[in-house]
Chains A and B, each alone.
Chain A
Amino acid sequence: MTIKKPAADIMQGTLDMLILRTLIMGPAHGHTIAEVIEHTSENALDVEQGSLYPALHRLEDRGLLSSEWGVSENNRKAKFYRLTAKGRKELAAATSRWRRMTRAIGLILGEVGGESAE
């Protein structure tokens, strides 16, 4: 059975980076991470929260995150994710990649933005 890939898939690398960025503040569970991403982006990145989990598990498999079950602020059982040293390094690299890219895109848009591509 093949599953239709969500259109947001192209943002996968970006989502990974946002997750890592969120966790730099300290360990958090899935719900918190989703809330933080949504709030700090002023609700611009409104994705189905379910799509967060494949990303979390992928990052954990890559060794960028570690996880353990704990008790949340609501006194509920929750799985907490924590940034590993490797994850920190990856965040730094991803952030600088992102900066370079946005700068490049910005340059291009700034130069040819006025003229139509047609």
Chain B
Amino acid sequence: MNIERFFERFRDRKRKDEDLAEEIDSHLAHAQDAHAARGLPPKEARRQANLKFGNPRTTREAVWSYRSIPWLEDLWRDLRFVLRSLVKTPGFTAIAILVIAVGIGVNTAVFSVIDTVLLKPLTYPDPQSLVQLRNTFPQGSNPFASVPEFHVLSKQTGIFQQVAAYDFGGAGLNLTGGDHPLQVQGIHVTADYFSLFGAPVIAGRTFTAAEDQPNGGRVVVLSYGLWKSRFGGQSDVVGRTIQIDGQPYLIVGIIGKGFVTDPEGDLWLPFQFDLTSQSMAHYFLTAARLKPGVTIGQANAQLKLVADQFRREYPGGRGPLDGFGAISLQESMIGDTRQPLLVLLGAVGLVLLIACANVANLLLVRASVRKRELATRAALGAGRIQIIRQLLTESLALSLTGGLLGLILGFAGVRLLLAVSPPGGLPRIGEDGSAVTLDPTILLFTLGVSILTGILFGLVPAISASSPNLATTLNESGSRSGIGFRSGKLRSVLVVTEMALALVLVIGATLLIRTFMKLEAVDPGFETHNVLTMAMSISGDRFQKTSGVAQLVRDGSERLKAIPGVVDAAATCCLPLQGGFGVPFDIVGRPKGDAPSTGGAGYFDISWSYFNALKIPLLRGRTFTEQDNGAAPGVVIINETMAKKYWPNGDPLKDRLLTGVGMGPLFAEPARQIVGIVGNTTDRALDEDPGPNMYVPTAQIPDGETALNSKVAPLWWIVRTSVEPHSVVAPVSAALRDASGGLPVAHVRSMDEMVAHNTSRQRFNMLLLTVFGASALLMAAIGIYGLMAYSVQQRTQEIGVRMALGAQASSLRNMVIRQGMAPALIGVAIGIGGAFWLTRFLASFLFGVKAWDPAAFIATPLLLSAVALIAIWVPARRATRVDPIRALRFE
């Protein structure tokens, strides 16, 4: 059917109707003529004609309704009516819309994060076939790979189309040459990386296989961002050279704007792996594209065999139970963030339910006020369905308006929150949450939730209000047409629900607040105040040998200590709270048993003043001195956990350690004497128990290790100050630039900031759940207040009679309180049960607090009961102020 013709039908309805009326008149006239011709008198002829024709009105209505879309017109009529009546009660409308906006807003906020992190597919072509390869151990798995592992995995052409290795650019690089050196993120990749991820090349090319071999030349591919910022987007950049750490690199290509890496990279360099390497250092990631038709399950089955192949090619390289695994790249990026997000979604779902209960309550009150109006409409012939439809239109108008407001609030709120208090470790959200964008999925979600909400809170009041009880309602006098028994009971049920849900949320929030307080109270094992830290990329040639780094550390420390306000300074590979490398070790003279080494521990190379600068206590023996240099005998210091774990009875200071066992020739070195035991520090997260750690002097590590370190991690400087740490940033940066021959520093942060960052995820969760809990509590309080205030108002007359008969004000007040507290306490009781069951999902986010934490389960119900009491107190007092004379005259 032709569209124009279709709409023709709905056009000019009024004119067409008049036309039809005229046509009918004409028909009747002709019919009358015909009857008259048969000899009937004019009156009878007219009667016969009318009889034969039927009701002209019916005909016109039939044509009219054929020319209309009935439900649309009914809707439009209902909507106009609803808008008029909503505008007439602005107070009700504003509160209802606000409550819905909060309920839907928090849902939109959490969903937009979930959409970005969990749901959106990766931006690479055919993302389903991309997998992250992992090393599996009997205890778990990790994504880090070594060169031999990459070598073996990249040969598995039966499983993978392509395999690529890449690092996170953790060490950083220095763009030198020009006036201001710039520290950038340079990601090392193998040649197949770009085609694996479908990187769009907008100029030049990516690395050739030859360029990705040892001594393949100094070549670099630029990101779109760096090309724009450093080169102003000039078109002739390809073929030019840039200075990276003092060396010229040939720019071979530029990658387009849409290519997203996490974390972002400024430029790419070829890894240039020596595939004959025996080094078991794990310092990069591998991803692969599955061959068409190969599933992840099949790939994992095949990889079991690959582990055996690996053990044959590199005897002793992996333990007998270790293996390889593949998980989808998206899963790998999402990591362990799924559960916290789903818990948050559950929490906002509860907030929305409370909002619904609240608005349903408001609508019930409104419906009881409008009882006469509705009854009148019913008496005039409106069907029950029509009244329900009209009331539902009203609730949908409210929920859609609230939803629109909620969308704006929620989206603006989540962007603000992600920018102000970014949760550490939430992947894929971009810088300050910039990847969280308003897309059709979110709009659809909010629309769906709004409609569902409108039906949820509108249906029960609508059905209850539409129950046909015309006679009694119309006979009741206007002011007294109060809350019926049924809707009163319904409202109590809603209050019970609100209280129960609010209690669950507040208990959840309490548990997270307690967790956060416990985390704040954790002793990280060192003094965090007045410490400034910063990173220096030392990827230049000068720092490929240990002696070069040792020289830099000596010079730098000296210059730093000369700055006024600086108390002490040190350098290290790895800061506390960030963690070191895991390195296996042997205790000389001890049998190894089945294991390839005696044990494994965190491995920190540090300068001699590290413990002093961080104020880590020395428990036994001595700390390092400047004399523990490359020429001196090897020494190592261990932490308390390591001493207790491996020397439960013996004396560690009598033993020697062989570190880097089985990690290949780069790490081979003579055994080190244990010279001291220091206190534990928190190395990863505050909620994890400190593991065993070994500390060695930076000046004493093997050259191969130094070279590798310079690729994978920056050198960290630690400055203890007697003044506010950020006040010395300028002189400290200048001193380090001088000491290093012009290298910049980056990631300048105080240790207190690092601690805050370390707990940012817990803080994020706690903040959100506290906001949700507080809004739930507020809504529940409003709900219970509304119920009692209305009930007191409706019973003014009854209360007046009671007073006139001599009831005490206090007993009246207690009566109201009793009646109000009953649903509140029932709600609290149900809430305790619900929380007891639901908080188990929070268990993995808790630290130092049990999911059934007695404090939370006692204090929170008391708090809620107190809030309920206050909410009831106000109407209860009002009841005692009723003037009996006026109340009786109220009629």
Interface set of A (CB-CB < 8 Å, partner B): 1-3, 29-32, 34-35, 48-51, 53-54, 57-58, 61-63, 72, 74, 76-79
CB neighbours of A48 from chain B (8 A): 52-54
CB neighbours of B24 from chain A (8 A): 50, 53
Additional pairs, 11, CB under 8 Å, beyond known A3-B58, A53-B27: A30-B26, A31-B30, A31-B34, A49-B31, A53-B59, A53-B62, A61-B5, A62-B5, A63-B5, A72-B26, A79-B22
CB neighbours of B67 from chain A (8 A): 57
- Knowing A29-B26, A57-B20, say if A3 contacts B55 (CB, 8 Å): no
Interface string of B9-44 (1 = CB under 8 A from A): 100000010011011101101110110000000000
Distance of A34 Cα from B59 Cα, bound (Å) = 15
Interface string of B808-834 (1 = CB under 8 A from A): 000000000000000000000000000
Nearest CB of A to B461, in Å: 25
Contact of A57 among B26, B29, B33, B66 (CB under 8 A): B66
Distance of A32 Cα from B63 Cα, bound (Å) = 20
Give the total number of A-B pairs whose CB atoms are below 8 A apart: 78
CB neighbours of A57 from chain B (8 A): 16, 20, 63, 66-67
Distance of A1 Cα from B19 Cα, bound (Å) = 23
CB neighbours of B23 from chain A (8 A): 30, 53, 78-79
Docked-complex contact A50 and B55, CB < 8 angstroms = yes
- Knowing A31-B30, A58-B66, say if A50 contacts B9 (CB, 8 Å): no
Nearest CB of A to B54, in Å: 4
7 A–B contacts from the bound complex (CB under 8 Å): A29-B30, A30-B23, A35-B34, A50-B59, A51-B54, A57-B16, A76-B30
In the complex formed, the residue of A with least CB distance to B51 is A48
Docked-complex contact A54 and B53, CB < 8 angstroms = no
Interface set of B (CB-CB < 8 Å, partner A): 5, 8-9, 16, 19-20, 22-24, 26-27, 29-31, 33-34, 52-56, 58-59, 61-63, 65-67, 70
Nearest CB of A to B84, in Å: 21
Docked-complex contact A30 and B66, CB < 8 angstroms = no
- Knowing A30-B23, A62-B5, say if A72 contacts B30 (CB, 8 Å): yes
Distance of A2 Cα from B8 Cα, bound (Å) = 23
Distance of A88 Cα from B581 Cα, bound (Å) = 88
Docked-complex contact B63 and A77, CB < 8 angstroms = no
In the complex formed, the residue of B with least CB distance to A32 is B30
Distance of A81 Cα from B26 Cα, bound (Å) = 14
CB neighbours of B55 from chain A (8 A): 50
CB neighbours of A61 from chain B (8 A): 5, 8-9
CB neighbours of B54 from chain A (8 A): 48-51
Distance of A2 Cα from B29 Cα, bound (Å) = 29
In the complex formed, the residue of A with least CB distance to B37 is A74
Docked-complex contact B27 and A3, CB < 8 angstroms = no
Docked-complex contact A78 and B26, CB < 8 angstroms = yes
CB neighbours of A77 from chain B (8 A): 22, 26
CB neighbours of A49 from chain B (8 A): 27, 31, 52-54
CB neighbours of A34 from chain B (8 A): 27
Docked-complex contact A53 and B63, CB < 8 angstroms = yes
Docked-complex contact A78 and B20, CB < 8 angstroms = no
In the complex formed, the residue of A with least CB distance to B61 is A3
Distance of A35 Cα from B34 Cα, bound (Å) = 10
Docked-complex contact A74 and B30, CB < 8 angstroms = yes
In the complex formed, the residue of A with least CB distance to B19 is A79
Nearest CB of B to A83, in Å: 17
CB neighbours of A1 from chain B (8 A): 61
Distance of A76 Cα from B49 Cα, bound (Å) = 16
Of listed B5, B29, B61, residue having the most chain A CB within 10 A: B29
Docked-complex contact B30 and A54, CB < 8 angstroms = no
CB neighbours of B22 from chain A (8 A): 77, 79
Docked-complex contact A53 and B58, CB < 8 angstroms = no
Nearest CB of B to A3, in Å: 6
Distance of A24 Cα from B29 Cα, bound (Å) = 24
Distance of A1 Cα from B61 Cα, bound (Å) = 10
CB neighbours of B66 from chain A (8 A): 54, 57-58
In the complex formed, the residue of A with least CB distance to B28 is A31
Contact of A50 among B26, B53, B65 (CB under 8 A): B53
Docked-complex contact B56 and A50, CB < 8 angstroms = yes
CB neighbours of B8 from chain A (8 A): 61
Docked-complex contact A50 and B58, CB < 8 angstroms = yes
CB neighbours of B58 from chain A (8 A): 3, 50
Of listed A58, A61, A77, residue having the most chain B CB within 10 A: A61
- Knowing A76-B26, A77-B26, A79-B23, say if A54 contacts B59 (CB, 8 Å): yes
Docked-complex contact A78 and B30, CB < 8 angstroms = yes
CB neighbours of B26 from chain A (8 A): 29-31, 72, 76-79
Distance of A62 Cα from B334 Cα, bound (Å) = 57
In the complex formed, the residue of B with least CB distance to A62 is B5
List 6 tightest A-B contacts by C-beta distance, closest first: A48-B54, A31-B30, A50-B59, A50-B54, A54-B62, A78-B26
Docked-complex contact B56 and A74, CB < 8 angstroms = no
Distance of A1 Cα from B58 Cα, bound (Å) = 12
CB neighbours of A51 from chain B (8 A): 54, 59, 62
Distance of A62 Cα from B54 Cα, bound (Å) = 25
In the complex formed, the residue of A with least CB distance to B25 is A77
CB neighbours of B19 from chain A (8 A): 79
Distance of A77 Cα from B30 Cα, bound (Å) = 10
Contact of B20 among A35, A53, A63 (CB under 8 A): A53
Distance of A9 Cα from B27 Cα, bound (Å) = 22
Distance of A29 Cα from B63 Cα, bound (Å) = 17
Nearest CB of B to A13, in Å: 15
Distance of A63 Cα from B55 Cα, bound (Å) = 27
Nearest CB of B to A47, in Å: 9
Distance of A15 Cα from B47 Cα, bound (Å) = 25
Distance of A112 Cα from B55 Cα, bound (Å) = 42
Distance of A31 Cα from B49 Cα, bound (Å) = 10
Of listed A29, A51, A53, A78, residue having the most chain B CB within 10 A: A53
Distance of A62 Cα from B62 Cα, bound (Å) = 17
- Knowing A49-B54, A54-B62, A57-B66, say if A31 contacts B20 (CB, 8 Å): no
Distance of A74 Cα from B53 Cα, bound (Å) = 19
Distance of A45 Cα from B53 Cα, bound (Å) = 14
Docked-complex contact B27 and A31, CB < 8 angstroms = yes
Distance of A61 Cα from B56 Cα, bound (Å) = 21
Docked-complex contact A3 and B30, CB < 8 angstroms = no
In the complex formed, the residue of B with least CB distance to A75 is B33
In the complex formed, the residue of B with least CB distance to A77 is B26
CB neighbours of B29 from chain A (8 A): 74, 76
CB neighbours of A3 from chain B (8 A): 58, 61-62, 65
Distance of A32 Cα from B23 Cα, bound (Å) = 13
In the complex formed, the residue of B with least CB distance to A53 is B59
CB neighbours of B20 from chain A (8 A): 53, 57
Nearest CB of A to B52, in Å: 6
Distance of A51 Cα from B54 Cα, bound (Å) = 8
In the complex formed, the residue of A with least CB distance to B56 is A50
CB neighbours of B30 from chain A (8 A): 29, 31-32, 72, 74, 76, 78
Distance of A50 Cα from B470 Cα, bound (Å) = 38
Of listed B16, B20, B27, B54, residue having the most chain A CB within 10 A: B27
CB neighbours of A63 from chain B (8 A): 5
CB neighbours of B70 from chain A (8 A): 2
- Knowing A48-B52, A51-B54, A53-B23, say if A74 contacts B33 (CB, 8 Å): yes
Distance of A29 Cα from B52 Cα, bound (Å) = 16
Nearest CB of B to A60, in Å: 9
In the complex formed, the residue of A with least CB distance to B1 is A62
Nearest CB of B to A7, in Å: 14
CB neighbours of A78 from chain B (8 A): 23, 26, 30
Distance of A50 Cα from B61 Cα, bound (Å) = 11
Nearest CB of B to A48, in Å: 4
Distance of A30 Cα from B53 Cα, bound (Å) = 11
In the complex formed, the residue of A with least CB distance to B6 is A61
Distance of A49 Cα from B59 Cα, bound (Å) = 9
Nearest CB of B to A36, in Å: 12
Distance of A101 Cα from B612 Cα, bound (Å) = 102
Distance of A23 Cα from B24 Cα, bound (Å) = 19
Distance of A78 Cα from B63 Cα, bound (Å) = 18
